[in-house]
């Protein structure tokens, strides 16, 4: 029996990840998701191109062979999160709906659990 994925990636987010990887101009192993200390609430999500897989990353195999690698230091902060990509009149970007969040700063740049 397969374990549930630690994160749910919406079709919109997957499409944008594929577009980013296609436009990079060099091969990538996937996209790496992490968290870092930032902002007034404490933590911020990070995304970066992954040139290779770390033996410690949690690998989420998405459609079309796309891989989302979750940094081992971030896994406990993102379990159960939905990653979406949103476009509206004022902003465009990845949106993280995390059931573990206890609060966000006023500008929405950081969160705490």
Which domains, ranges and CATH numbers included, belong to the chain?
Answer: 7-112 (2.60.300.12)
Say whether pLDDT at 108 is over 80: no
The residues that bridge with 92 in the sheet, in sequence order, are 87
Six token digits for residue 37: 């200390």
- Rounded to whole angstroms, the Cα distance separating 113 from 5 reads 20
Residue 11 makes CB contacts below 8 A (sequence gap 6+) with none
Quick: pLDDT tens for 48-81.
999 988 889 999 999 888 999 999 999 988 999 9
Q: What is the pTM of this model?
A: 0.83
Say whether pLDDT at 10 is over 60: yes
Quote the percentage of the chain above a pLDDT of 90: 50
Say whether pLDDT at 39 is over 90: no
- Rounded to whole angstroms, the Cα distance separating 112 from 1 reads 33
Question: Quick one: how far is CA 64 from the chain centroid?
Answer: 17
């Amino acid at each position: 029996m397969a374990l549930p994925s630690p994160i749910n990636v919406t079709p919109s987010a997957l499409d944008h990840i594929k577009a980013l990887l296609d436009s990079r101009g060099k091969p990538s192993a996937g996209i790496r998701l992490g968290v870092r200390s930032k902002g007034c609430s404490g933590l911020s999500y990070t995304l970066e191109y992954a040139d290779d897989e770390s033996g410690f990353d949690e690998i989420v195999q998405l459609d079309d062979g796309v891989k989302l690698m979750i940094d081992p230091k971030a896994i406990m902060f993102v379990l159960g999160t939905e990653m979406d990509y949103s476009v509206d009149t004022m902003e465009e970007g990845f949106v993280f709906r995390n059931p573990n969040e206890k609060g966000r700063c006023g500008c929405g740049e950081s969160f705490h659990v």
